[in-house]
Amino acid sequence: MAASVQGGRTGNLPAEANSFIGRRAELAVIAGLLGTERLVTLTGPGGVGKSRLALRAAHAARVGLPGGAWLVELSELRNPDLLTNAVAQATRLAEQTLRPLLQAVCEHLEGAPVLLVLDTCEHVLDECARVVQELLANVPQLRVLTTSRQPLGVPGEQLLTVAPLPLGERDDAVALFAARATATVPSFALTDANRAHVAAVCARLDGIPLALELAAVRLRGFPSDRLLEGLGSRFDLLVSPARPRPARHQTLRTAIGWSHELCTPLERLLWARLSVFAGGWDVEAAEFVCHGGPLDAEEILALLASLTEKSIVARDGQESPVRYRMLDTVRSFGAEWLTGLGEQEAVRRRHRDYFRWIARQGETEWLGPGQRMWAERLSAEHANLRLAVDECLTAPEPETALELTGSLWYFWFACGFTEEGRAYLERALRRAPKEGGPEHTLAVWAHRLVTVVPDDLEAAESVSAAYVWLAEERHLPVPALPLTGASLAVRGESARSAVLYGSVGQAPAGHGGAEFFQLLTLALQAYLLAGQAAFERCAAVAERLRAECAERGELWMRAWGDFFVALSGIGLGRAEEAVRHARAALAAKWRVHDRLGAAAVADLLVAAQAARGEDELAARLLGVSRRLWYAAGLPQLGRPDRTVFHREYERRLRASLGDARFSEVAGDGRALDPEAAIALALGGALDASDP
């Protein structure tokens, strides 16, 4: 075979310029695919390392290929008609012939298993697809490995999306940066003292290998502690002073700009407008926020698909509705273009208004069968909600911030973000006049609601007055709300709280906050009865709460009903019933992303399992409970030296199991990740159905 051996070696693969870091899983996948498939394409955004990964995979595959492994670099090729010439030249086809050149290349590659690597196909995509299809049809033992920012679209093509490097302090992104930094500045060393800072630099650059290598080079002139600060203008900072890398990789701006040049004008416009999203978005959000001018809403789905094919946008999982995201580096490039277009203010305002509408829709539908959907949707949109709130807080009209932060009361209160919600509400209220319309009333009400959970419960005693204002604005019946009594009860003043509690019959009718407080009234009554050890009455009220919630398809408040039924079961010596209801409460809390509530229910499960005599399981769940408090973002509540509950049950279980065994099983529980911890606590599959 003419192409088999040249200059004493098989193929034309260049030597690797420096050490190869990570990608073991990807290399294994590529090796497997090349063993069974004939065309493999590595896709991904610019600078993610497709070319280097393909070269490494080709070096590994060459050992078993008598016909060799041949690299065809296409980045400098501007005329698609010369693609076949580039393949002929790279594979050392020296024959001059009057036959069609592609036919000659096919014959040149015949005879033994051979690998052809076509690197950087996206700008000559159609011709690459044609040539590859012809080669595969006529060279039976040929394997083709391509790199491209979008698929070739050839039948039988197998795709592998190359992601950025993992970002943990001991993961590949940090290892790559450290290796390149040491090569650049020999005095550099990765230590425990600078590891977190290096990890922050890597995270700021999305773990993109090109960006990490360019950043490492900058250590020649930048102190490492200032590098992160300089990355705010990353496209200007990350410029390579060396020339060996391809022109498209000389700077990060050029690498991303290469993708930009491959886009149509409408794709570029959509890319720029999508840069206002934080975290991700779905099609509905993109259509609302990004339409306008030459870009019709009806075109956005097709343009999103095209940007996804070109590795500018990525699908975020397979869930429905489909969500999309961009790397922060790609987003920053689009944001620069949006500013250049003079559209930044208008598009950010549409983003803000869309999420104001989402917040209002969620409030309307929260107490119903869509509650889990809304919890998941708002959790997915958390970063966008924060951005919208921040935008409202800079708007000249203070009412927009009051309305948005107030409308999200159910998200702050029920989904585990009370501290964040309180901080936002305080900022909104500081900007607003002391007295005002319904937006001000709503924000005051929401702010005082979220103070029920944190330690400063005295502020909660004015919730009743705030709700009176809100009810008057919304023309609802005005109840005597029980939060003053709840505040007193939590401080241990049970007798006084019972006097101030008020009647359940005074609960308001209506929707939104009014309906929520109707249920909250029952939950607080159960709470107060439990505090007075009136467990039969507590269970009866809690069952009524569960029934009221079941009618609405509501999960979050119903979980508190299960909680109090379980608590009453422990008090009445019905441990099996307590475990069933506690598990139902935990499943529901986890489904609606209430991590704080899940941690509290996990504590109850410790007591329930201990009451059953399952001391080892109770000890393991005590470790799980501490793990969940950390997951809730309140580690101090899960520390054994801070929590009376934990101290008491640790003492009991240590006495029962012995110090060594207790420490072992509690440590096992604490070591679990949150999902595994929940699975252990539930004793099986996640299920929020009736016990």
* pLDDT for residue 72: 94
Q: Which is higher by pLDDT, 685 or 102?
A: 102
Are residues 517 and 547 in contact, defined by beta-carbon separation less than 8 angstroms? no
Residue 57 — pLDDT band, cuts 50, 70, 90?
Answer: very high
* pLDDT for residue 328: 76
Angle between helices 371-380 and 382-394 (to 10 degrees): 70
Average pLDDT in the 576-590 region?
92
Are residues 88 and 108 in contact, defined by beta-carbon separation less than 8 angstroms? yes
* pLDDT for residue 241: 55
- The DSSP annotation for 3-15 comes to TS-BTTBSS-PPP
Residues near 419 by Cβ (< 8 Å), separated by ≥ 6?
Answer: 454, 633
24-161 CATH: 3.40.50.300
Give pLDDT tens digits for 120-174. Answer: 999 899 999 999 999 999 999 999 999 998 999 999 999 999 999 998 888 899 9
* pLDDT for residue 220: 66
* pLDDT for residue 496: 37
* pLDDT for residue 449: 75
First to last CA, the chain: 72
* pLDDT for residue 190: 87
263-342 CATH: 1.10.10.10
Q: Which is higher by pLDDT, 22 or 4?
A: 22
The lowest-confidence range among 223-237, 491-505, 637-651, 665-679 is 491-505
* pLDDT for residue 215: 76
* pLDDT for residue 533: 80
What 3-state class would DSSP assign to 146?
A: strand
The residue ranges of every structural domain in the chain are 24-161, 172-254, 263-342, 451-532, 545-682
Instruction: 26-29: list long-range contacts, CB under 8 Å, 24+ apart.
Output: 26/53, 26/160, 26/162, 27/53, 27/56, 27/57, 27/60, 29/160
What is the number of helices (H) and of strands (E) in the chain?
34, 8
Are residues 458 and 428 in contact, defined by beta-carbon separation less than 8 angstroms? no
Are residues 295 and 266 in contact, defined by beta-carbon separation less than 8 angstroms? yes
Average pLDDT in the 33-45 region?
94
Share of the chain above pLDDT 90, in %: 37
- 428 has a pLDDT exceeding 70: yes
- Burial class, 481, CB count within 10 angstroms (exposed 0-12 / middle 13-18 / buried 19+): buried
Give pLDDT tens digits for 618-628. Answer: 999 999 888 88
Residue 440 — pLDDT band, cuts 50, 70, 90?
Answer: confident
Cis, bond preceding 508 (omega within 30 deg of 0) = no
- The DSSP annotation for 204-246 comes to HTTT-HHHHHHHHHGGGTS-HHHHHHHGGGHHHH-B-S-SSS-
* pLDDT for residue 676: 87
d(CA 252, CA 211): 6
Angle between helices 463-473 and 438-450 (to 10 degrees): 150
Q: Which residues pair with 57 in a beta bridge?
A: none
Q: Which is higher by pLDDT, 487 or 542?
A: 542
What 3-state class would DSSP assign to 69?
A: strand
Element (H, E) at 625: helix 615-631
* pLDDT for residue 226: 64
Give pLDDT tens digits for 500-530. Answer: 333 333 332 334 556 776 787 788 788 778 7
- 315 has a pLDDT exceeding 80: yes
545-682 CATH: 1.25.40
Average pLDDT in the 372-396 region?
91
- 19 has a pLDDT exceeding 50: yes
Average pLDDT in the 379-407 region?
91
* pLDDT for residue 148: 93
**Residue 252, amino acid:** L
Average pLDDT in the 647-664 region?
88
What 3-state class would DSSP assign to 43?
A: strand
**Residue 310, amino acid:** K
Q: Which is higher by pLDDT, 476 or 433?
A: 433
- 37 has a pLDDT exceeding 70: yes
* pLDDT for residue 468: 46
- 117 has a pLDDT exceeding 50: yes
Domains 24-161 and 263-342 share a fold: no
- The DSSP annotation for 357-421 comes to HHHHHHHHHSSSTTHHHHHHHHHHTHHHHHHHHHHHHHSS-HHHHHHHHHHTHHHHHHTT-HHHH
Average pLDDT in the 55-68 region?
92
Q: How far is CA 22 from CA 19, 207, 245, 350, 631, in A?
A: 10, 12, 20, 41, 29
- 233 has a pLDDT exceeding 60: no
d(CA 68, CA 615): 64
Q: What is the mean pLDDT of the chain?
A: 81
* pLDDT for residue 260: 81
Q: Which is higher by pLDDT, 507 or 604?
A: 604
d(CA 514, CA 302): 43
Give pLDDT tens digits for 332-356. Answer: 888 889 999 999 999 999 999 999 9
Sheet of 69-73: strand order equals: 69-73, 114-119, 142-147, 39-43, 158-161
Give pLDDT tens digits for 277-303. Answer: 988 999 999 999 999 999 999 999 999
Count Cα atoms within 13 angstroms, Cβ side, for 61. Answer: 32
d(CA 363, CA 470): 15
Q: Which is higher by pLDDT, 359 or 457?
A: 359
Give the single-character DSSP code of 321.
S
- 668 has a pLDDT exceeding 60: yes
Residue 119 — pLDDT band, cuts 50, 70, 90?
Answer: very high
